[in-house]
Structure 1
Amino acid sequence: MHIIITGATGLIGSAVLDIALNDPEVTKISVLSRSPVPQVWAQPKAEAIYVPDFGNYDLELVRKLEDAKGIVWCLGETRHGSITTEDLDRINVQYPLYAAKTFAEGKNVFNFVFVSMLGIERQLHEDVVDKGKAEEGLMKLYKEMPNLKPYSMRLCAMDYRGHKAIHQYIKYPRPWWKILASWVIPMVKWYSAVLNCDSPDFGFLLTELAKRDGSPIESEYAIEEGRFLLAPGFNPLVEKFRRERRMLEDAKTK
């Protein structure tokens, strides 16, 4: 099975890539990136594909990805330095919507797994507003293109401390807001474990959704016709998916 990953040089993307590399059901991984991806070096089933502009895919690339079952979209940006509001909108809103429309075209089913943020409805800051705009756009495309199966995972906290395989790929020096997050996330996990999803589990969840048949998520924490999932629903869904995989593996051995 062929899946696509974006944002693989970031923390969440590297977690997804590690899980996908070790998933025997995933036979091919196309990593779309504007920079080198050391994590795929010497990995026979993974290829890093240089994309100079995520708002304009050439026909050759689209054809190369035409057999992909789904994509895990981890690409995103936050307000910092000299980045403009227009750049944030282009990266966080326009890029994922363009990719969803482009890669779903002509396919029977194409899963678009989007990494979002918990608290969108509060619109506390610009990054959350952009995620909300992208979600609205994905639902609109879903109505127009029934073969497009979007999922949005509204993440609160992801603890990566135990995910040793990705530590060497974390970029240094880290910006201040990521350093702050590394202190805040353990606190969230301690006081409200239901809002945390450890990175191996989150990577597994995103990979599974990209591989599956596009059915709506069945969970008390699922909204928007089962297309979006709130953070408290992550760990129960991970357990459900793992149980299903164990049952399938047991059935094969009988």
Structure 2
Amino acid sequence: MGKTSGQNNIIITGATGMVGEGVLMQCLNSPEIDGILVINRKPCAYTHPKLKEIIHSDFFNFSQIENQLSGYNACFFCLGITSVGVDSDTYYKMTYTLTMHVAETLSKLNDRMTFCYVSGGGTNANGRLKWAQVKGKTENELMKLPFAQVFNFRPGFIKPLPGQKYAHKFYKYINWLFPIGRGIYPSGFCTMGELANAMINTLSHKGERMILEGKAIIALSKE
């Protein structure tokens, strides 16, 4: 893993979901990360000397907690919902509107912040699928905000870390497919450790705005 410089104090959202939890676990164990703030609607059930948690129910209004959100040099944004069974207006609000509100708030409070957004494989602002369009619009608008860096991650199948509490139950039945899928289609398969390490390694980059698909995520995780 590439060595970063200075203090790395980061914010993680979505720590009670599979991706956010995996990123949190990896960051807690990483010597590259000095401090972590997680913002959740409910407790994440993790404790650690470098971990601070804010329980906040309304992600569309951060005015009550803004005074606690400055002094961070990265946000690993792992919060999101599936489009399955969700009407288009709700999906747009919970994907685009919510993400942009959080990002706009953080960009005002932290002028040298790196913003990492977990989007998804197949994202395309000009695609036919509604969810792909919404994710693509979110990616495009994040690129315009005054962050020091923006990285949009588009993972496909993600293999959870051992011991994750919030991994989807079906993963334990299909994890055996991972080495087969990785061999046949490496761009569509990464591990949670690779995704998290790639995010951590963005902190050694300077002034970049990138979209990262599967192979690029894996490559960045090895820097």
User: Which residue is equivalent to 1:134?
Assistant: 138
| Structure 1 residues 108-131: Cα deviation after superposition (integer angstroms, max 9, x where no partner) | 311110011222237353332221
Matched position secondary structure for 2:58: coil
1:7 corresponds to which of 7, 14, 34: 14
User: Which residue is equivalent to 1:244?
Assistant: none
Instruction: Identify, as 1 or 2, the structure richer in helix.
Output: 1
Question: How far apart are the structure 2 equivalents of 1:139 and 1:236?
Answer: 22
The share of aligned pairs that are identical, in percent, is: 24
Matched position secondary structure for 1:19: helix
User: Which residue is equivalent to 1:215?
Assistant: 207
| Structure 1 residues 197-241: Cα deviation after superposition (integer angstroms, max 9, x where no partner) | 2111111112332x345432xxxxxxxxx42122221112222x2
Q: Contact 2:32 / 2:200 at 8 angstroms: preserved in 1?
A: no
Which amino acid letter does the alignment assign opposite residue 207 of structure 2?
S
Q: Contact 1:31 / 1:49 at 8 angstroms: preserved in 2?
A: yes
User: Which residue is equivalent to 2:98?
Assistant: 95
Displacement after TM superposition at 1:148 (Å): 4.3
Q: In the alignment, does 2:189 pair up with 1:188? A: no
* Compared CA separation, residues 156 and 30, structure 1 to 2 (3 A): same
Matched position secondary structure for 2:38: strand
Q: Mind listing any 5+ residue stretches in structure 2 that lack a counterpart?
A: 1-7
Q: Contact 2:199 / 2:221 at 8 angstroms: preserved in 1?
A: no
Larger radius of gyration: 1
User: Which residue is equivalent to 1:222?
Assistant: none
Q: Mind listing any 5+ residue stretches in structure 1 that lack a counterpart?
A: 217-225, 242-254
1:107 corresponds to which of 104, 107, 110: 110
Q: Contact 2:148 / 2:207 at 8 angstroms: preserved in 1?
A: no
Displacement after TM superposition at 1:140 (Å): 2.8
